Structure 1
Amino acid sequence: MTAMIVQTANAERLAEEVMAEVWQPPPPVDFLAWAVDNIVFTEQESRFHGEYNRERFPYFDEILRALSPDDPCREVTLAKSAQIGGTVLANIFTGGSMEMDPCYFLYVHPTADNAMRWSKMKLAPMLKGTASLAALFPMRSRDGLDSVLYKERVDGRGAIQISGANSPASLSQVTMKRQVQDDLAKWEMNSAGDPETQANSRSRGRPDAKIFKISTPLIEPGCRITANFEAGSQEHFYVPCPHCEHFQVLEWENMLANLDEEAPEKAHFTCVECGCEIEDHHRGAILPRGEWRAHNASARRHHRSFHIWSAYSFLQSFEQIAREFLAAKGVPSKEQVFFNDTVGRAYKTLGEAPPWEALRDRGGVSFYARGFIPVGGLVVTIGVDCQGDRVEWQAVAFGRDYRRFIVDAGVIPGHISTKGCQERLDALLQQAWPNAVGNRIKADRLAIDGNAYSEEVWSWVKGKPSSQVIMVRGVPSESAALIAPVKKERNAKGKLLRYSKRFYNFATSVLKMALYRNIVRDDVTARGFVGLPSGMDDEFYRQLTSESRRARQNKQGFTVYEWVKDPNVPNEMLDTHLQAEAAAIHYGIRAMPDAIWDRLEAERETPPTEAQLDFEDGLFGSLPTMQVSEPSTVAPNLAAAEPAPKAPKSRRRWEGYS
């Protein structure tokens, strides 16, 4: 009979081992070392695919050190250009925290939709593709520890909660030790107030919390990431001159001062000390020697803020930067994108409307008259705004280089639902305005406001081709697309509305800022020039400039920026102008190739043949060079006007409904 040997655990030894593990100081949290050991870029992610290389991102070293627990600061802000690697930093901070210092981690995006897209396209591949994280996050949804917006470590020692700033409920959960507030400039007020304050409060109970705020700037005043950068240490990346060793910041204004528009490939900086050129090929030598210097050093202990832009990135050449600027120059909406995405700065707006009297005076001596299309106006669009007792409209002609020319405006009496109003709108679609060579051009596209009286508007729109008439709705968000299809509209019972496929949102705030910047230009050759015809009355100009961008305190006491209308002046002419521009954007003028412009120019600005002129002269007499019908008022209380007598069907003009 063999003896059975029973091994028993030494309880005292086990207790000592557990206590030793608990008391052992945690390993240092080194995000930089973690990045080098774990981050691998695929060919789809970066043209610098392969392992994380510090030499390619020398300016990230100090930011990663600031994010570590060894740095006493509580907040780290990064204001940056687009596509410079900010998402990589956020991923390193997130993944490194989950492995080296497990905790509850909050990652907030502007909207819940953004959050879900990031979770699926960025976070999930990182958790799956990083060996050290794959073991911690096996991503088995059946165990309840993994979902699109919640990822918990397999041992329960930490979790990532992914939220949208537009959802106050998702910002009112447990206390979070670490946070990323991504795309902060795009955050907007939610139903409970200011989402940034709500997110910050999630870490208030942790004295060792670290909050990483990161974004490309947008509009100033009111840009969140710019405000955070200015509240922090304001650190800029200084590099030595390759000739004299003087350290300096590579400023956009320096490159601009040296820019040769005829030779953008020669774009460079000039040393502020010795005056020698700092060229693209010098970056490989000077960037690794760069250093961050604070312009507001007193804030460094509690809030470190950094700014970096495309000139420091090997992903973009100096020539690319120069060409992007030249492509955007003179077009406010494109200039904003350039300053935001390339220079990494907020775009400063002209919040105040230009004086209407100055515009009126300029229009009074205009080179073209109301009711006519001057040379260069090749695409005609109409914006229509519906009021309770009338419909107001404005026709605008668009040309190359984002130039536009106001052609005409007027009022159709009656509600949009009435037969008479709809008949006159039909007539407006058939209206043809004469241009400088005597050709007559109808509207290429009409955009009618569908935000109010949507069903009544649809009753008129549905009988028109989708290539001719669309419904639009203005949205105030300053990060909205210039024009985008409305998400499928449903009524209160959940039924899909028929007009949802013909309905578009357009960015009113962005278009207003661009209009106010462009309309003050008086050089007809300038990009973005806005032509004002003679014959428009004072009321037209008052309405066109009736709104300004102002700061106000909301109910929660936070400052918000919005467009405010002069309470004494209607704004229909501003609305109809923006609707006409939305119609032009939908038509495609912003991406129209030269070949199409050439074709339109050949078709519309070639004078009619002699036979055509003889035929028209016989019917109507010779066409005057600059003659207009009686100017139509845009006053809201305009009495109904009778249409002019019918012209022969071969060339019927509908006038008098203005």
Structure 2
Amino acid sequence: MTAHFVQVANAERIAADVLAEVMTPPPPVDYLRWAEDNIVFTQRESPLPGPYNRDLFFYFDEILRALSPDDPCRVVSVHKSAQLGGTVLANIFTGGSLAMDPGDFLYVHPTENNAQRWSKMKLVPMLKGTTALARLFPMKARDGSDSVLYKERIDGKGAIQISGANSPASLSQVTMKRQVQDDLAKWEMNNAGDPETQADSRSQAHEFAKILKVSTPLVDPGCRITKNFEDGSQEKLWLPCPHCGHPQTLEWENFLANLDEEKPENSHFSCPECGGVIEEHHRPAMFRAARELEKQGIEAWRAENAKAKRFHRSFHLWSAYSLLQSFERIARSWINARGDPASEQTFFNDVVGRAYKTLGEAPPWEALRDRAAQSPYPRKTIPVGFPLVTVGVDCQGDRIEYQVVAWGRDYRRAVVDYGVFPGHISSKECWAFLDALVKQEFVNGYGRRIGIDMLGIDGNAWTEDVWGWAKRHLASKVIMLRGVGSESAPLLARVKKERSRSGKLLSYSKRFYNFATSVLKMGLYRNLVKDDPLERGYIALPRGLDDEYFKQLTAETRRAKRLKTGFIAYEWVKDPAQANEGLDTHLQAEAAAIKLGIRVMPDAAWDKYEADRERPPAAQQYDLEDLMAPGLPDLPPPPPKPKPAAPAPIATRRIVRTIRRTQ
């Protein structure tokens, strides 16, 4: 007989191994050391490829310490500028946690689309390119342990779930020891309520949970990351002066006071103690000096609300601290943005790392009416300095309302006309009226007749009827529009490919655009209060408009609304008794102007439009036979000689001359 031997595991040995693994204290969770040992940037990821450099990201040292189990705080908020390394910080926290102290990890983005994009473009490259993670996440499983939104360690000891704040289902029935709430300012209410509250509750069962909230701010009041910063310890980075050693924070107001508009490359900070000039080349030395002071027990990060440090540490960072951002670029960004509310918002959010303060109240309509009564130009005419013309059209159940707006350099605009036509957009009469409106011409300050460059029509209601009319005109002349209330929405973006119930791609998708109504309203109300015709963003108003127009233009106000969850949301509201089509049509005309390119139009293009349209009409020509014929009509007087070109900006000086001449 053949003997068969069966190898039997030693049960006592297995039990001893398991007990030893359970009883052995885990290694310390040191995110700083883990980053230095594991994070390597490629040329695609960073302008400075190579291993993680603490000298480059000195400002992250204390934030990573706050995220470690050694710090008692539960929540860490980072209120920051864009492109400051927030993704790097979140990746270190995510990857280091999964490698050093495995457990379930939640990573939440504003939407599921954002979540999928981050998983494919950021997470997967990190898992593949980091040796410590590649062996833990081979990403070859076919049993559901590896998908775009869920990845589990090969030993089953931990996993990462990637979710979207717009999906309440992905934020339910899970318990997470650690989580990242990314781009928090862009989170919006979902159909189950407040997503931030939902995400916070996922870690409620863990006494020593860590929640990282990181975002560039948006609009205040109502900005989530700004509220978190103010609720937390409010820590800012203090750096010693390179001249006298006096510790100070780098503040935007200090930089603005030393911003050289003629030579932005000379912009700098100044020390409040000794008055010494602080230039960008001083920053590395200031970082090293701050690190040396930390070794002596002098904190670089100082809290303005120290009592919150035990539970919630919050940090503020902006571009001036980043070695990847030059002072000259900061200065030029402000010079380019100043005077245009939408651009100013982007600047304060992305560069200064501050929420943009809104004007929630509309300006008094009476003040606008009184200013219009003193206007140098009448309704239905175009003043000098505004060579482009757009129209906004709003469709109501029993009427069509429209507004004509002319545009000039530096985001200045002039209201030309406002009107109402009875009927529904599906009627032939309305189509005939709109056809005529597209061909309408208006006389400008030089006596020339100027046609409409682009018309934007509301396509949110009665979409098929609107499309039936719009498709009869060129896409370069007529576009369809739909307002989007999100304060993080782009000013103008083509709608996603829309399909009918049968799945057929709708043809109007190619010329249907969403526009950011909330952002444009905030900008409009800031610009309406400007009374200097030369100021960037100034809005000129004509004589002859009814009071109702000004009431409609200022019909909405941004108000706080307390939800059942206790969260306060902000939305634009109007008096139910007051119509607001004057506001809607103005924003639609502005959206059409954005599509036309006024926000990015170079000076050469403005020069061309002004040369073509801002000059007297040509004299009428007669044949020799006409001159010899009896009954010759009186010849028109010769046109006035064109005024010599003024120094740049040309349109600005023409406006001044016209106003003075007509007053």
TM over 0.5: yes
Matches within 5 A, 1:258-657: 258-290=258-290, 291-611=300-620
CA distance in 2, matches of 1:41, 1:568: 59
**CA distance in 1 between partners of 2:117 and 2:192 (Å):** 24
Aligned to 1:175: 175
What is the identity, as a one-letter code, of the residue corresponding to 1:401? D
Instruction: For residue 383 of structure 1, give the secondary structure of its aligned residue in structure 2.
Output: strand
TM-score computed with the length of structure 1 as normaliser: 0.92
Within 5 Å, give how 1:32-431 maps onto structure 2. 32-290=32-290, 291-431=300-440
Report deviation, 1:289: 3.1
Give the CA deviation at 1:559. Answer: 1.4
Partners of 2:637 and 2:524 lie apart in 1 by 37
Contact 2:339 2:536 in 1 (8 A): yes
Secondary structure class of the residue paired with 1:274: coil
Report the count of equivalent residues: 624
Is the 2:182–2:215 contact (alpha carbons within 8 Å) kept by the matching residues of 1? yes
Counterpart Cα distance in 2 of 1:309 and 1:410: 47
Q: How many Å separate the matches in 2 of 1:613 and 1:543?
A: 49
Q: Distance in 1 between matches of 2:6 and 2:563?
A: 74
* Rounded Cα–Cα distance in structure 2 between residues aligned with 1:595 and 1:109: 42
One-letter amino acid of the counterpart of residue 118, structure 2 = W
8 Å Cα contact 2:492/2:516 also seen in 1: yes
Under a length normalisation based on structure 2, what TM-score does the superposition of the two structures give? 0.91
C-alpha contact 1:447 1:579 (8 A) present in aligned 2: yes
Give 2:644's aligned residue.
none
| 1:640 aligned residue | none
For 2:75 and 2:567, locate their aligned partners in 1 and report how far apart those are by CA, in whole Å: 21
Partners of 1:77 and 1:232 within 8 A in 2: yes
Deviation per residue, 1:332-372 (Å, 9 max, x gap)? 00000000000001000000000111111111111222111
On the 8 A contact 1:438/1:623 being kept in 2, the answer is no
Contact 1:287-1:312 at 8 Å conserved across structures: no
Cα distance in 1 for partners of 2:413, 2:267 equals 31
Post-superposition CA distance 1:181-226 (Å, at most 9, x none) = 0000000000000000000000000001100000000000000000
Identify the residue that residue 296 of structure 2 maps to in structure 1. Answer: none
**For residues 220-251 of structure 1, what are the alpha-carbon distances to aligned partners after superposition, in whole Å with 9 as ceiling and x for unaligned?**
00000000000000000000011111111100
Are the counterparts in 2 of residues 76 and 304 from structure 1 also a CA contact under 8 Å? yes
The alignment partner of 1:381 has SS state of: strand
Check conservation: 1:178, 1:203, Cα contact below 8 A.
yes
For structure 2, which runs of at least 5 residues remain unmatched after alignment? 291-299, 627-631, 641-663
SS at match of 2:532: coil
Describe how 1:21-40 pairs up with structure 2 within 5 A. 21-40=21-40
The separation in 1 between residues aligned to 2:406 and 2:77, in whole angstroms, is 44
Distance 1:355 1:441, change over 3 A: same
Higher mean Cα deviation, 61-70 or 254-263?
254-263
Give SS of 2:435's match: helix
SS in 1 for 2:25: coil
Tell me the amino acid that sits aligned with residue 292 of structure 1.
W
Give secondary structure in 1 for the equivalent of 2:55: helix
Residue 238 of structure 2: SS of its match in structure 1?
strand
SS at match of 1:589: coil
Q: Matched residue of 2:314: which SS?
A: strand
CA shift digits 1:71-115 (9 cap, x unpaired):
110000000000000000000000001100111000000000000
**Structure 1 residues 414 and 6, CA, compared in 2 at 3 Å: closer, same or farther?**
closer
Offset, 1:326: 0.4
Deviation at 1:554, TM superposition (A): 3.2
CA distance in 1, matches of 2:45, 2:553: 46
User: 1:419 offset after TM fit, Å?
Assistant: 0.9
CA change 1:223–1:618 in 2 (3 A) is: farther
Give the match's secondary structure for 1:446: strand
Aligned in 2, Cα 1:437/1:93: closer, same or farther, shift over 3 Å? same
Distance 1:491 1:16 in 2: 64
- Supply the distance in 1 between the matched residues of 2:583 and 2:332 (Cα, whole angstroms): 33
Distance (Å, rounded) in 2 between the aligned partners of 1:81 and 1:233: 18
Aligned partner letter, 2:529: V
Once the 2 structures are TM-superposed, how far is the Cα of residue 64 of structure 1 from its aligned partner? Answer: 0.4
Instruction: String of CA shifts for 1:271-328, please: whole Å, max 9, x gaps.
Output: 1111211111110100233310011000000100000000000110111101100000
Query: In 1, distance between residues paired with 2:333 and 2:65?
Result: 33
1:490 shift after superposition:
2.6
Alpha-carbon distance in 2 for matches of 1:336, 1:106: 31
**Structure 1 pair 17–556 and aligned structure 2 pair: CA distance change class (3 A):** closer
Q: CA deviation at 1:496?
A: 2.8
Structure 1 counterpart of 2:649: none
Which residue identity does 1:321 align to in structure 2?
A: I
Alignment partner of 2:385: what SS?
A: coil
Amino acid corresponding to residue 376 of structure 1 in structure 2: G
Q: Deviations over 1:610-633 (max 9, x none)?
A: 236999x979988999xxxxxxxx
Sort the Cα spacing of 1:197 and 1:6 in 2 relative to 1 into closer, same or farther, 3 A: closer
User: Any idea what SS the aligned residue of 1:320 has?
Assistant: helix
Q: Percent identity?
A: 68
Q: Equivalents in 1 of 2:634, 2:568: separation in Å?
A: 63
SS of 1:361 mapped into structure 2: helix
SS, match of residue 287 in structure 1: helix
Which one-letter code corresponds to 1:467 in the other structure? S
1:612–1:111 CA distance, 2 compared to 1 (3 A): farther
SS in 2 for 1:146: coil
Query: Is contact 2:616–2:639 with CA below 8 Å preserved after alignment?
Result: no
1:421 Cα deviation (Å)?
A: 1.3
Q: Give me the whole-angstrom Cα distance separating, in 1, the residues matched to 2:375 and 2:245.
A: 55
Shift of the 619–12 alpha-carbon distance from structure 1 to 2, 3 Å rule, reads farther
CA separation of 1:460 and 1:145: change in aligned 2, threshold 3 A: same
- Give the aligned partner of residue 639 of structure 1: none
SS in 2 for 1:174: coil
CA distance in 2, matches of 1:75, 1:208: 10
Alpha-carbon distance between aligned partners in 1 of 2:448 and 2:125, rounded to the nearest angstrom? 59
The answer to whether the 8 Å contact 2:619/2:638 transfers is no
Counterpart Cα distance in 2 of 1:440 and 1:306: 57
State the 1:491 CA deviation: 3.2
* C-alpha separation in 1, matches of 2:576 and 2:566: 23
Residue 536 of structure 1 deviates from its aligned partner by 1.3
* Distance of 1:341 and 1:623 partners within structure 2: 54
Moved more, 566-575 or 192-201: 566-575
Gaps of 5+ in 1: 626-658
In 2 relative to 1, CA 407–618 (structure 1 residues): closer, same or farther, beyond 3 Å? farther
